[in-house]
Structure 1
Amino acid sequence: MTEKQTWSDRFETALNPAIAIFNASIGFDIQLIEYDLTGSIAHAKMLAKTAIISDAEAELLVSGLEQIRQEYRQGKFNPGVEAEDVHFAVEKRLTEIVGDVGKKLHTARSRNDQVGTDIRLYLKAEIEQTQEQIKAFQSALLAQAEQHVETLIPGYTHLQRAQPLSLAHHLLAYFQMAQRDWERLADVYKRTNVSPLGCGALAGTTFPIDRAYSAKLLEFDRPYENSLDGVSDRDFAIEFLCAASLIMVHLSRLSEEMILWASQEFNFITLKDSCATGSSIMPQKKNPDIPELVRGKTGRVFGHLQALLVIMKGLPLAYNKDLQEDKEGIFDSVKTVKSCLSAMTILLNEGIEFRTARLNAAVAEDFSNATDVADYLAAKQVPFREAYNLVGKVVKTSLAAGKLLKDLSLEEWQQIHPAFEADIYQAIAPERVVSARNSYGGTGFERVRQAIAVAKSQLNS
């Protein structure tokens, strides 16, 4: 026999014990208890302000709710499945503490607007914390970038050597991705910061409540304009999961590069012992577990986004029990994103060392300066397309001869085109190739130093 529920006087028999367990959400929505208590305190104060209950009753309710908060923090309040959900658990305990006045707390409120309020309060706090972690991640990227403005790294397209880059420029690309992530969360926050409290089950209430007052107490920008929308809207949660998914995309892309860079084939970075593990049978190995886990965990967040989209796509207005399924995906996505940001920040700060000699040597081992040969000719009034085709033939013959462009003699260059002079060797030197690209947003050293200064300003603002 299950415990009598608040709503059960309508029913002749008790809920089947297995169905009670299936129906209950207390196992995961207990995470919302602090926000549920905060929302209830605001509701009680609003009920007193509008004379729906007396000031003395409101004070008693607030005192009881704060007692529950302390009991929970001290580990003394641990409701089980019989409570069904966090809202009923709080209401029951409140009535035990303050007596029948506790039953007045639910006046002019439904679980539907209550849970909507809780999840928004929770997500507002988590968005702000995630934004702080993004800033820490950006700071770690900036610290590495400042050390490696003139460190060169091969740039790739199609995972083929393309053009050499400043390593700092490469890292700053991730800084800008993270900046968009921060801004995207700020935008999601705006639509999360709307109060459904007072929408009731779906149609509002006959009581003379003041929704603007309770919204202000909870630091919401405003109340929802439409009660149906207020209790059934999960757009903000979907938007958060979209933003979370993009954060994971960016972390996963950096992870993939670090995994490649740590391989013996690339050998661009050394993994430090504090952020790597070994093999159980191959003692020579050092495994990039952090980026591999980040890359793997990305799918979890993608899955939660897809799940919530599927939940919402066919729901008629207003509230449906399906919406109980929104919370675990949100909770897990928050946990996953925050843990991955933290791990990648630690990895950047103390877990890797760039092998600068190897990186600088790598850009001299290929034909990634071929575009600069074409640019050289174009600067001497040779039409670029003609120059492009000439250089293509040069690369082809050089490959056949086992030579790099830097190994060609001046005579060989001038046989290709008389416009080549001795300064061609300076023009195709990797450092010159990189430093010359000072167009806005380019990889030139001076441009990268300016970009670092702008990034610092963005971070501080």
Structure 2
Amino acid sequence: MLRIILFSLSLAAATGLSTMPTSSRDLNASSRGGGRSVEFFDQINKASIIMLDEGGLVPHPMAARIADGIEQVIAKENASGAARSADYLDFEPKLIAAVGQDASRLHMGRSRQDIGATIARMSLRDGLLREYQALVASREKLLTIADQNKQTIIPAYTHGVQAQPTTFAHYLLAWEAAVVRNCERLQQAYQRINTSPLGAAALGTSSFPIDRKRLAGLLGFDGLVENSYDANHVASADSSLEVASALQISAIQLGQFAQDLHAQYAAPSPWLMLSEGKLTGVSSIMPQKRNPAALEQLRTQSSIMVGEMQTVFLLSHNNRTGMFDSRSYDPVPSERPSQVFELFQQVLDGLVVDKDRALAEVNADYSATSGIADALLRTADVPFRIGHHYASTLTNYGRSQGLKLNEIPYAEAARIYKAETKQDFPLDEAEFRETISAEHMVSVSKGIGGPQLAEVTRMLADGHTKMKSDLDWLKSRKDRLVAAEASLNTSVAALAAGASTNGSANR
């Protein structure tokens, strides 16, 4: 998969130009990204004939013949191996050839527009559940690595400059929290997406008493997009935008993560890097280089994903309701997010953190000096700004002398404090040495969500609990859809089996 992502991207694959439809009919007949539109179209036809039969809108013997005809057409087309169309106008002549003119009753109270809107929603929920599963798998990897690094001291950065020490677990749990929010966004989107527009017809329903609730249940939907105008013309746009927005946010976060890691490669001895092998490459001219190819691709593919999700917005922008610009059967490209999330997991699997090197990086700079101001206030009631100014002056002194923070003599630290404040330095040497220790600064953190061991341990436990809950949610949604499809297929097979001998002769 990684090799495919690294080397097999073409302009057509990146832009979708090679499969872009040329008319509104082509748009409804195609599925960008190789989705399951034809499978969903088959389910819709099966649900329609079951509902029509149960509601008495089609006489039972005729419904049986139509159900049998649906099964015949599907089997014949699947056996041929040829690409199938999800356009009803392509399907109906084949059904009529199998059943007779009565086959057109299948389309009672329907339009290609509500069929298309329903396929789009089925595509959205199908892609969403796959993407959700990939994100939860990423969370599991983040939690596992964090659990192994609860006390691994690393430098943290603001403005691209080393700022304070923290732990690798604390850092990774920040990204796990970000992925949790994206999972929550997708869960919330699913609640609105998994509602059925079928039976709305073009926009105003029809004169037939179509049981829209029954259609929704047969297809595994949790409810209806109730207003029939909304179902096809308004909700069809904002449901896609909601998913695209969540995926776009996720792509931006993954790009940030890739950049964090990539920045480490500027150092002669990075404290964080990728394991050598499939995630890295060797320069063709400089044998010493180990290029972090997977990070570059994670950033690149995330950026392309941001663009693709923005395209979903642009296709709906300044558009009248009822237009087809944004109404494909696969309205949010689902192939790239799955690839990007898989690549993210591979990067997590390949992370190598050098604990000693990370601590040396912290100790090489002055990021622990902010603990001095805290210690002076906490132990000697020195006003924070006075302590802050002293720590800044101490930093300037140490850097001017080419010293690391822990190399500054205690006598010099005390002298500088006396010169700054006209007071004796209130910390003895042991207290001063402890205060400027990165490990100490992390351990004495008190706030909720901080890097101290107790809070990291708590957040890890919470993360595992939430992940289990989210896996249960995912399983319940997938199980419901599988059960609905199995029940639908059983019902159609039973109805088709009742086709009469006379009805079969009419074929």
Same fold (TM over 0.5): yes
Residues 14-61 of structure 1: per-residue CA shift (max 9 Å, x gap): xxxxxx954523343673111111112111111112211123333333
Paired residue for 2:292, among 281, 285, 288?
288
Residue of structure 1 aligned with 2:31, choices 5, 8, 28: 28
Deviating more after overlay: 154-163 vs 40-49: 40-49
**In 2 relative to 1, CA 329–41 (structure 1 residues): closer, same or farther, beyond 3 Å?**
closer
Q: Note the C-alpha offset of 1:381.
A: 0.4
Instruction: Return closer, same or farther for 1:175/1:39 CA change in 2, 3 Å cut-off.
Output: same
Secondary structure (helix, strand or coil) at the match of 2:154 reads: strand
- Choose the corresponding residue for 1:322, options 311, 322, 325: 325
The equivalences for 1:3-402 within 5 A come to 22-23=23-24, 24-25=26-27, 26-28=29-31, 31=35, 32-70=37-75, 76-79=81-84, 86-232=87-233, 233=235, 234-265=237-268, 267-272=270-275, 273-317=277-321, 319-324=322-327, 326-327=328-329, 330-331=332-333, 334-349=334-349, 351-379=350-378, 380-402=380-402
Distance of aligned partners of 1:259 and 1:89 in 2 relative to their CA distance in 1, 3 Å threshold: farther
Q: Is the 8 A contact 2:120 2:331 kept in 1?
A: no
Task: Supply the AA of the counterpart residue of 2:307.
Answer: G
* Residue type of the alignment partner of 2:274: L
1:143/1:73 Cα in 2 relative to 1: closer, same or farther (>3 Å)?
Answer: farther
**Matched position secondary structure for 1:162:** strand
Quickly say closer, same or farther: Cα 1:277–1:394, change in 2 above 3 A.
same
Greater CA drift, 417-426 or 297-306 = 297-306
Q: Whose relative contact order is higher, 1 or 2, with alpha carbons under 8 Å and at least 6 apart?
A: 2
Bigger drift between 194-203 and 85-94 goes to: 85-94
Q: Structure 1 residue 435: deviation in Å?
A: 1.5
Retained in 2: the 8 A contact 1:68–1:77? no
Aligned match of 1:407? 407
CA distance in structure 1 between the partners assigned to 2:177 and 2:73 by the alignment: 44
On the 8 A contact 1:95/1:101 being kept in 2, the answer is yes
- Alpha-carbon distance in structure 2 between the residues aligned to 1:320 and 1:371: 59
Structure 1 CA distance for aligned equivalents of residues 282 and 313 of structure 2: 40
User: Which shifted more, 42-51 or 295-304?
Assistant: 295-304
**Matched letter for residue 307 of structure 1:** T
Distance 2:73 2:261 in 1: 47
Q: Which amino acid counterpart does residue 35 of structure 1 have in structure 2?
A: F
Q: Report how far residue 413 of structure 1 moved.
A: 2.3
Secondary structure of residue in 1 paired with 2:270: coil
The separation in 2 between residues aligned to 1:281 and 1:158, in whole angstroms, is: 34
Look up the SS of the partner of 1:274 in the other structure. Answer: coil
What CA distance in whole angstroms lies between the structure 2 residues aligned with 1:89 and 1:359?
Answer: 63
Q: Distance in 2 between matches of 1:396 and 1:68?
A: 81
Q: Once the two structures are aligned, what percentage of the paired residues are identical?
A: 26
Query: 1:402: how far off?
Result: 1.4
Tell me if the contact between 1:279 and 1:285 (Cα under 8 Å) persists in the aligned partners.
yes
RMSD value, Cα: 2.2
Hey, what's the Cα distance between the residues in 1 that align with 2:178 and 2:269? 24
Contact 1:41–1:61, Cα closer than 8 Å, also in 2: no
- Alpha carbons of 1:368 and 1:63: their partners in 2 closer, same or farther (altered >3 Å)? farther
Say how many residue pairs are matched: 434
2:31 aligned counterpart, secondary structure: helix
- Aligned residues of 2:212 and 2:224 also touching (Cα < 8 A): yes
Q: Is 1:455 equivalent to 2:457 in the alignment?
A: no
Label 1:101 to 1:262 Cα distance change in 2 as closer, same or farther (>3 A): farther
What is the distance in 1 between the residues matched to 2:79 and 2:462? 46
Question: In structure 2, how many angstroms separate the alpha carbons of the residues matched to 1:74 and 1:290?
Answer: 41
1:438 touches 1:444 (CA, 8 Å); kept in 2?
yes
Take 1:314 and 1:269, find their aligned partners in 2: how far apart are those partners?
46
The question of whether the paired residues in 2 share the 8 Å contact of 1:194 and 1:223 is answered with yes
Alignment correspondent of 1:14? none
- Note if 1:437 corresponds to 2:445: yes
**Offset at 1:152?**
1.2
Q: Counterparts of 1:304 and 1:346 in 2: how far apart (Å)? A: 22
Which secondary structure state, in structure 2, belongs to the residue aligned with residue 78 of structure 1? coil
What is the one-letter code of the residue matched to 1:399? R
Instruction: Give the TM-score of the pair, scaled to structure 2.
Output: 0.80
Aligned residue type for 2:412 = E
Instruction: Describe the SS at the equivalent of 1:164.
Output: strand
Using a 3 Å threshold, how does the CA distance of structure 1 residues 450 and 68 change in structure 2: closer, same or farther?
A: farther
CA change 1:46–1:329 in 2 (3 A) is closer
CA 1:344–1:304 in 2, change beyond 3 Å: closer, same or farther?
A: closer
- The letter for the 2-side match of 1:428 is I
TM-score relative to the length of structure 1: 0.88
Partner of 2:497: none
Q: CA deviation at 1:171?
A: 0.5
1:185 is paired with a residue of what secondary structure? helix
Displacement of 1:185 after TM fit? 0.1
Structure-2 separation of matches of 1:92 and 1:286 = 60
Contact 2:120 2:330 in 1 (8 A): no
Deviation at 1:309, TM superposition (A): 2.6
SS in structure 2 opposite 1:369?
A: helix
Contact 2:244 2:310 in 1 (8 A): no
CA distance in structure 1 between the partners assigned to 2:312 and 2:281 by the alignment: 36
Q: Which amino acid aligns with 2:62?
A: E
Q: Which amino acid aligns with 1:241?
A: A
In structure 2, how many angstroms separate the alpha carbons of the residues matched to 1:188 and 1:43? Answer: 26
- Tell me the equivalent position of 1:426: 434
The alpha carbon displacement at 1:329 in A equals 5.5
Per the TM alignment, residue 311 of structure 1 is displaced from its structure 2 partner at its CA by 2.9
Unaligned runs of 5+ in 1: 1-19
1:140·1:345 contact (CA, 8 Å) conserved in 2?
yes
